[in-house]
Amino acid sequence: MPIVNLHGLTLDVEIHYAQQTPSTKHANGYSEIEWTCIRATDEIGENISDAAIDLICDEYINDIERAIWAHIGR
C-alpha cells in the first residue's frame, strides 16, 4: 500500500488496478489506474473523516495519481 504525502496530509492508498502503455513512434502512451484512499491523517497525525477524504481526493486527484505512479515506478 503506497503512502502519499501531499500538502501536509498523509494518505494511505490501496491500488486496485494499474496499467501503463509507453508511447511509440506511431501511438501515444496510455495509463489507467484505479485506487482508493483508505485512511488519511493531517500534519499532526489526527485522522481525517471519510467525507473529508472524499473531498481531498476529488480536489487533488491528479497530484495523488502522479505520486502513486512515482511510487509504482520505484
Beta strands in the chain (DSSP E): 3-6, 9-21, 30-41
Q: Is residue 29 within 8 Å of 23, Cβ to Cβ?
A: yes
pLDDT tens digits in sequence order for the chain, 74 residues long = 789 999 999 999 999 999 988 888 888 888 899 999 999 999 999 999 999 999 999 999 999 999 999 998 86
Count of the separate structural domains present in the chain: 1
The range of the structural domain enclosing residue 10 comes to 3-72
